[in-house]
Amino acid sequence: MEKIQAGKFVQLAYEIFVADEQGDASVFKFTREQPDTFVFGMDPGMLPAFSKGIEGLTIGDKFDFTLDPEDAFGPKDPTMVMEIPRQTFFVDGEFDSERVFVGASLPMQTQDGYRISGIVESINDEVVVMDFNHQLAGERVHYVGEVVAVRDATPEELNPAPHGCGCGCGHDHGHDHGCDCGSCDCGGCN
């Protein structure tokens, strides 16, 4: 039976939970019908600790492990919380209150042209405060799932064409949902 190792095409069905004192809260799920797919060892968005947790598994094997923030998505970085001038969010001379509200996830663009997503934390007369940290930064993350498929990767899978997102997320799959651009159909971007 094929084992998960470098160069193998892998499909996983799993659920990601935030683990805290009150228990686990589900934040994302890949199903058997819509699994997470990747070539093991070739995905720059895969967390090393996640890779270690699934390496060597075979079809039908189950996994259940929890990663502390330093092994998952890192601690919250206060420099990733930014004040953006309110007028940035004006459309036809008016503030876009339909899309820009506390709790909204908004796609933005970096100075380098990459799309990133931020959560609106507060709004006042001068600025909109947005948090660009990964949505799971600072959290203990619990993964529970099963290996759906493992096989040799095809040449196309080993050398994929860009997936058209334009956000530079590197097709993050379920491991590092850093993209959140909302514009691609790769299954890994929210």
Q: What span, in angstroms and rounded, lies between the C-alpha atoms of 28 and 134?
A: 14
Q: What span, in angstroms and rounded, lies between the C-alpha atoms of 75 and 79?
A: 12
CATH 2.40.10.330 in the chain: give the residue spans. Answer: 78-131
Q: Are the beta carbons of 19 and 163 closer than 8 angstroms? A: no
Q: What is the CA radius of gyration of the chain?
A: 18
pLDDT confidence of residue 72: 96
The verdict on pTM exceeding 0.75 is no
Looking at the chain, the whole-number percentage of residues with pLDDT higher than 90 is 74
CATH number given to 1-76+135-190:
3.10.50.40
- At 153, is the pLDDT very low, low, confident or very high (cuts 50, 70, 90)? very high
Using CB atoms within 10 Å of the CB of residue 78, give its burial: 0 to 12 exposed, 13 to 18 middle, 19+ buried.
exposed
CATH 3.10.50.40 in the chain: give the residue spans. Answer: 1-76+135-190
pLDDT confidence of residue 163: 52
The residues that bridge with 58 in the sheet, in sequence order, are 3
Q: What span, in angstroms and rounded, lies between the C-alpha atoms of 177 and 158?
A: 21
CATH number given to 78-131:
2.40.10.330
